[in-house]
Structure 1
Amino acid sequence: MRSWLFGQSPRIIILSALLLFLVITSFVVMKSARDALVLTQFSGETLPYFMVATTLLVGLMVAVQLRLNESLSVCSVLAGGLVFYAAGTFLLHVGVHGHWPFAVPIFYGWVGLFGTQIPMLAWSIISRRLHVREAKRAIGTIGGGAVAGSIGGGLIAERVARLGSTPDLLAAAGLLMIAALIPVIGLGLCPRVESADDSSLEAGRVLRPRFVAIVLTIVAAGSIVSTFAEFQFKIIAQQELTTETSLTAFFGWFYAYLGVATLAFQLVVTPLVIRWLGITAGLAVLPLALLGANALIVGFGTLWSAVVLRGGEQLFKHSIDRSSLEVLYTAVTGKARIRLKSLVEAFGVRASESVAGILLIVLFSIASLPLSTIGLLGIVLSLAWFCAAILLRREYTEILTQTIERKGLDIDELKRSLFGPEFHRLLPRLLQTTSTQTWLHLLDLLETSDQRLIGPRLSILLEHQDAQVRRKILRLLFDQPRDYSSDVERLLGDVDRSVRTEAIRYLCSHSPQPMGRLLTFLQDPDPSVRVAACSCSLILEKEESREVAMGKLEEILNHSYDPDQPDLRLEIANVLQDFQAGDAYLRLVRRLMKDSSLEVRRSALKSVSKIRPESLLPVLFANSKEPALWADLRGVLASFGPVVIAYARQLLPAQETPAELKRLILQVISDIGDEPSLALLLEYAENQNLWLRFQAIKGLNRLNDPQELNGFRPRIQQLLDNEIRELEKYRQQQGVFDQGAPTLISNLLAERRQWSEERIFRLLGLLYEQKAVQKAYFAFSEGSSHLFDTALELLDSLLALEHKRTIVPLLENQTNRPDGDPRAPDGRKESLLQFIEQKDQLAAAAALADLRPTELRKWRADLETAVQSLKGQSLVAETLEWRHRQMRDEPSPTESDSLTTIQKLESLSKVTIFSRLGPHELLLLASSSVVQDYGEGEIIYREGETAHHIYNLIKGRVQLRRDPDQVEEISPGGSFGALAVLSRQPRFFTAQVLEPARCIKVEREAFWEMVEDYPSASRAIFEVLSGQILTMMGRLKKDEG
């Protein structure tokens, strides 16, 4: 069963409610005694002076408290505060009983200090132990503790007033403060929800000024209106009830019954409002209530209207308003929360109460205006308060987005700072100390920056020893206003042909008489020089020179095949990128796109994208069989626009079309982005193939345009409904096959569930603000528990009620045990037969591997019938035969190829390097892998050999050595040979068998195919590898030491 507390220990909830109960009980007891003592000993005109003095005193104590918070924990400050106030309350009890001078005025300020500091500290310690979603879920119970404290305090005040005297309430309050130390100590032992990483991320984060201003407006307006309401209530009560006993009994009765109503509201209504309407809706309830209640004061001014005003203010303030505000604070984490609460306490509460007190002195004590004037002012402030609560909705979403946002590297800013005046000043020293590779990286950045004016100093690099650096500098010189022909002239004799070619192009383009130089270069015996001269001829706006150049290029291309000169053809392809027109161009580019050199075809593709001749489309799709060209081909095909759709409709349904090519086609369709493209993507977003469906939804995300998608929203909603049902199905299936420990089928269903969750987020990005939904998904899938919780809260604030009620609870349940009973065999059998019927071979085989022997015997006939009736399920048939062989207790064959695909898959999942891959990724590896046995002393591969396989040891021991020292010993479950495959380098070590070993060999091509199909797998593999490399380096360093 799912815990309603989201896995949070009930201990925190109980201790939090108990702490608030004791704190608020003691406060209400003291407040009842305070009001009765002051109103019977002083006139109503003096009350504003008490309020202002108390506010100033509170401001001073808050400043002291903030200083204490910098050096002490909140728990320590709260515990110390309770002891301090308990001791002071006992002392004041003696003073009030003994009629000490100024005891009652001091007690009035004392109660104000306690009521401000201690509840705030109590809420602070609670918020540090709850996530925002946990706080929303548990706020009814926790806030109910505070409301119950109001009830308890009111009942104690009423009973003590009747049986004893009002000063006796002070002793009771002191005892309650001492008792509150118990839950404080208990909460201090509970862990905080913010990890060290979360806290470091929050450090230095600046809250949005608009958000802070709105929160301050809400709190300040609320404080002023609440102060007015308290004053109006007390003055009217003093006019109607004149004795100390009657006032004490009235206040006790009032707070007791009000507490019952508030408790009921807190437990029943507050959680519903906050959960389904949101925090901002909860903050709008109190100003609306006070707007109406102040109207009653203005209209009637009687005791019952004052009861409605004060009752409504207390009812909503201590339930939904306080709860909403505390949940809002929980959404702001780390030091930002402390800064916000300090700001709110100093200005939103204390300064506002001072303003309210001064207004009361001026309007009531000095000007003697009627209470209706204060009521009118309360109406105006309540209206402003309500408007601020409405505006907070947008800001709350932004603050949640800010909480989960990760600041990325601003490349443009990096370039601007890198290539500033300091770069040019240090250039001579950089030339002496910077490596060639570093210079190449710097020049790549400079070439793509907006500060390409490099100045005369960088021309020094024309003499750099590396030809690549010289060539890049030449390219940058084309954009400089100054003529560097005299410097470039020296490069005509450069040893590198590509440098000479760039130099010729530069000189021709900057020469005052280019034709003379061109004729000389066109007769040069070096074909690369002639190609460069043709490039310059094409730039000139003369038709004759262009025809001559195209003819020369065709002639050079014809001679580049005997002998084979792919570099020369690459230069021709590069030239064609700057000039595209005419039949000669089409002939050249068509030949170049069929070239055996991959780089030549890639350069020719860049040329095609600029003129988009439709006659070349068949040639382009012929190149789609080369995976290395897919990235370049995508942009070219997208530039052709809608004409590609017809080819896409032919290729996508074809079984022989590779999966990666189908992904490329869907990406091209999304890049085109017209209405037929949208329709095609939506069509494949409903495809049964999970991988194709996901790629189609990604395509929709890439072209997300609200205006273009408006007509397709019903279909997107239907897709979302389908994905929700699918996610529910995966959850139920997980429950059916869940046996506590991870199994192949449970891992498979968990992976599919994660994919389904991502598809849901992507579809939500089409219906709501995509950037916010995207950030929510990243935090949901990759962040800490704090980020996961905040991501769901962000989603909760974005979604409409129809989606919020279904999607958020479904996503929230991912950390809990899935629904379904694994002991129910009928459910397992039904799911297994469904997998077979749907030809879901991997799921069916994984489920078969998970069956108990009794289930396998009982269902044998049904399973064999199902498999035989549906042909083409070799993986299922193989797994079923293996399980039957297991059931018959037959000895395992000893041949090296005896392992089934599922057995290889399970073995690979136990190998460290593949341990974080899902079943779908492992299936690609297992299907193409082979099992091989090696004898003792046998060499598996030698140092320096070409790497063709990754080896995964399932039995025996293997030694990796790099002469003359042993480096590492591999045990079962380990892998070796992966680093050479990943880096495409020769073997780094020699692998020799120490004792008879069995290995699963994964081919290099199969591995890279898996990475291309599942890009996320590369991250998991590289994280594991990096950990292994760091461990090895640490071991070597230790050995050297």
Structure 2
Amino acid sequence: MKFLSKLFNVKEGEGQPFFILFIHFFCFSAMGITAGSARDAFFLSLFEKTYLPLMFVAIAIVMAGVIPLYTKWTRGRDLTTVIMFSAAIFGGSLIPLTFMLSGWIIPLLYIWVEIIIVLSIAQFWLLAGEVFDARQAKRLFGLISGSGAIAAMVVGFSIRPFVQTFGSDKLLLATTFFIGVTAVTAMMIRPHRTKLESGSTKQSATRKEKSKNKFDSYLIAITIVICSMAIVSKYVDYQFKIIASNAYPTPDELVNFFGLFYAVTGAAGFIVQFFLTGRILSKFGVLVGLIILPLAIFAGSIGFFMVPVLAAIFIPKFADQVFKFTINNTTIQLLWLPAPPKAKKETKPVIDGTIKAFMEGFAGLSIFIATIYFSVPIHFLSIVVIAVAALWIFYTFKTKRDYVNALQKAIEKRQLNFEELEVDVADSAMVATIEKTLCADEEVKQLFALELIEDIPLTPWAKTLNELFHGENKKVSKTILKIAADNSNVISDDELMATLQNQDLAHIAINVAGSRKLSAAVPIVETYLSDDNQELQITAAAALQMMQSEKVDEARKLIQEKMSSADPKIQAMAIRHLTEQQKILTNDLLIEFLENPSEITSNSALDVAAKRKNQELIPAIISNLSNPKTLPTTRYTLQQFSDDFVIPELISTLEHEHIDIDLLRGIVVILKVYRST
């Protein structure tokens, strides 16, 4: 785990859930590749391939019905149980289908595989969202999704020897194996799941806003870009598969080719995602991020129109497979960021779901009509691709202009929320806009900008942040010191050493020195053990537990004395500084503080419990529902845990024969909250 921590920036306590989700996504991706390759090969080799466009239509129609039914069926159910039950159905159904590959079973399999892939990916991201919070997600989700590219390379290159040994029809059994592993990993991740607070305060503040126009010009531009991508992707996919099936007529040959294709695109996607996406967006902005994919498809389709061979159609399909799921997907996420919260909530599911699915179905129907009723040659379909790609390219320029305007408005209205962004990427326009806000003379604007960027890499603003840190505004300096705790590019170790001597910033600087394990700072931190300020004493004692200090035992004794203090304020101060110090503030001791009659002590213990998210703390947390002064903090803390752990414990407490009347009222109140969410 230490190796993971250094290589991937996986912090203490994150290693095990990170590894489990990494394996889960690897197996999901492997499942998609084996099942997708098999279903395409079977349909194109063993069925009438002229009906392939109708499969696009059928999938759009079926998914429009399946997703609402699935959502209704899974609402209120334990996600791990849902995943395991789904895996049993998905895997169990593929085993008999392996031995029934003929006639109407083949198009049925084609649609069924799509249902499996779509629902499985939705389940994974829901599961991952319950394991890591927004800040952890930005740091880890990109790494976890990188296992998909690794799976594409490993499984793609393994398909040929597998098929040579067992035959292409047995690929569905391999798919079943990977589905089974995802069920196991879903069960293994259960103890790490949490219930994250639904909606931040920044979001709730904007809920009452009225959206005058759901689809303004900016959202229309986004819609056109997404619809163009959907149409072009289906046309290119159809051309690629038909030409490939002509070149490789047998199922085994076709599966081998698809496996090689996924391996090559997986390797390319890995390079683009981890080495190019961030650099391109930070240097050139969303315009380049948006335009790469349509330009590549535009150029490749011109080539295929002129020379209709597999090598020519390989280019636009390669571009679609590599860029769509890497830089293009990341850029689309950035486009949604400045959209008004209410409009985003109402329109994003419609655009990404209903409208996109409709356009994919429309693309399939138009291909079928063109090829069957008008006998249009396959390479002539590239005319449509070229035309739509040209429209797509045109609208990328408009989208970029609207994005900059929307970004500025969002910052002015304080509607920008980076917690909704799942990647650690900042484009050039965003960097420039936030830079301008940081450089404003108004403290309120500066603090808001700092709040915006606290959960994303600070390097683009390192110079400005450093200048502000050394400025006269102490509130701004304190905020920068907090958010730059792990970033020595903003505040160097030497600057931190100097800050330790500053009484106004010392308590924060000591914490930062401890988190950085800055050995050079140990002598200075040790001097604060005898400071007149008790908060500085406690802060120093807690920090020295993470540093190589000869006075670590003295520091531990001091902090234990403070925890045993008769003054609840001093006790609370000590507890809050020991969130990560589980050897000193054990969970058993934390439970004692949670059950302490002082609301000051209990509230500080609740703050620690909310961060630790340990299930054994839940009964003691619930006991605080009896006190109106601890009720709000208790409610927030319980919301950090999965409903599957909290609700049974609440019900169990209700069943106690001699339950306190105040506790009963508190539980009833919190159960109403759970019922309404």
Q: 1:27 aligns with which of 5, 19, 32?
A: 32
Matching residue of 2:76: 72
CA contact (8 A) 1:92 1:103 kept: no
Q: 2:226 aligns with which of 210, 219, 232?
A: 219
Matched, 1:289 2:296: yes
Aligned-residue offset at 1:778: 3.8
Change in Cα spacing, 1:161 to 1:308, as seen in structure 2 (3 Å) is same
Matching residue of 1:264: 271
Matching residue of 1:113: 115
Matched, 1:48 2:53: yes
Measured in 1, the distance between the counterparts of 2:568 and 2:249 equals 91
Aligned-residue offset at 1:298: 1.3
CA contact (8 A) 1:223 1:353 kept: yes
Measured in 2, the distance between the counterparts of 1:278 and 1:809 equals 24
Structure with greater strand share of residues: 1
CA contact (8 A) 1:136 1:271 kept: no
Aligned-residue offset at 1:83: 3.4
Matching residue of 1:311: 318
Measured in 2, the distance between the counterparts of 1:363 and 1:330 equals 39
Aligned-residue offset at 1:154: 2.1
What is the TM-score when the length of structure 2 is the normalising length?
0.60
1:192 alignment partner, SS class: coil
Matched, 1:779 2:451: no
Which structure has more RCO (C-alpha within 8 Å, separation ≥ 6)? 2
Measured in 2, the distance between the counterparts of 1:21 and 1:275 equals 28
Deviation track 1:146-166 (CA, whole Å, cap 9, x = no partner) reads: 222322442343333211122
Aligned-residue offset at 1:68: 5.1
Change in Cα spacing, 1:332 to 1:197, as seen in structure 2 (3 Å) is same
CA contact (8 A) 1:5 1:134 kept: no
Measured in 2, the distance between the counterparts of 1:356 and 1:121 equals 27
CA contact (8 A) 1:132 1:789 kept: no
Measured in 2, the distance between the counterparts of 1:288 and 1:62 equals 33
Aligned-residue offset at 1:110: 0.8
Matched, 1:360 2:362: no
CA contact (8 A) 1:228 1:374 kept: yes
Unaligned runs of 5+ in 2: 416-431, 468-479, 510-519, 538-566, 572-627, 630-661, 663-677
CA contact (8 A) 1:220 1:349 kept: yes
Measured in 2, the distance between the counterparts of 1:22 and 1:37 equals 22
Deviation track 1:134-191 (CA, whole Å, cap 9, x = no partner) reads: 6555454233122223224423433332111222111221221222234445276145
CA contact (8 A) 2:98 2:172 kept: no
Measured in 1, the distance between the counterparts of 2:237 and 2:225 equals 18
Q: 1:142 aligns with which of 117, 141, 144?
A: 144
Question: Aligned AA for 2:231?
Answer: I
Aligned-residue offset at 1:97: 0.8
Q: 2:204 aligns with which of 182, 200, 206?
A: 200
Change in Cα spacing, 1:165 to 1:387, as seen in structure 2 (3 Å) is same
1:351 alignment partner, SS class: helix
CA contact (8 A) 2:90 2:179 kept: no
Measured in 2, the distance between the counterparts of 1:121 and 1:142 equals 15
Matching residue of 1:500: none
Aligned-residue offset at 1:32: 0.6
CA contact (8 A) 2:300 2:315 kept: yes
Unaligned runs of 5+ in 1: 408-759, 797-802, 848-854, 860-882, 890-901, 911-968, 974-1029, 1032-1037
Measured in 2, the distance between the counterparts of 1:326 and 1:841 equals 42
Change in Cα spacing, 1:43 to 1:144, as seen in structure 2 (3 Å) is same
Q: How many residues align?
A: 487
- Provide the identity percentage: 17
How big is the alpha-carbon RMSD for the aligned residues of Structure 1 and Structure 2? 5.0
Aligned-residue offset at 1:31: 0.6
Question: Aligned AA for 2:159?
Answer: A
Q: 1:764 aligns with which of 436, 441, 445?
A: 436
Aligned-residue offset at 1:64: 2.4
Matching residue of 2:349: 342
Paired residues for 1:509-520 under 5 Å:
none
Aligned-residue offset at 1:403: 8.2
2:168 alignment partner, SS class: coil
Aligned-residue offset at 1:262: 2.0
Q: 2:483 aligns with which of 794, 808, 814?
A: 814
Matching residue of 1:189: 193
Deviation track 1:720-761 (CA, whole Å, cap 9, x = no partner) reads: xxxxxxxxxxxxxxxxxxxxxxxxxxxxxxxxxxxxxxxx99
Aligned-residue offset at 1:831: 5.4
Change in Cα spacing, 1:60 to 1:112, as seen in structure 2 (3 Å) is same
Deviation track 1:889-916 (CA, whole Å, cap 9, x = no partner) reads: 9xxxxxxxxxxxx97xx59999xxxxxx
Change in Cα spacing, 1:763 to 1:64, as seen in structure 2 (3 Å) is closer
Aligned-residue offset at 1:250: 1.4
Matched, 1:83 2:85: yes
Aligned-residue offset at 1:229: 1.0
Change in Cα spacing, 1:972 to 1:291, as seen in structure 2 (3 Å) is closer
Question: Aligned AA for 1:289?
Answer: A
Measured in 2, the distance between the counterparts of 1:262 and 1:216 equals 25
Change in Cα spacing, 1:298 to 1:817, as seen in structure 2 (3 Å) is closer
Aligned-residue offset at 1:248: 1.7
Aligned-residue offset at 1:106: 0.6
Matching residue of 2:543: none
Paired residues for 1:410-809 under 5 Å:
764-765=436-437, 777-780=446-449, 787-789=452-454, 804=461, 806-807=463-464
Q: In terms of Rg, which structure is larger?
A: 1
Matched, 1:36 2:38: no
Matching residue of 2:389: 382
Question: Aligned AA for 2:310?
Answer: L
Matching residue of 2:68: 63
What is the TM-score when the length of structure 1 is the normalising length?
0.40
Question: Aligned AA for 1:111?
Answer: V
CA contact (8 A) 1:48 1:361 kept: yes
CA contact (8 A) 1:136 1:274 kept: no
Q: 1:104 aligns with which of 93, 103, 106?
A: 106
Matching residue of 2:262: 255
Change in Cα spacing, 1:102 to 1:11, as seen in structure 2 (3 Å) is same
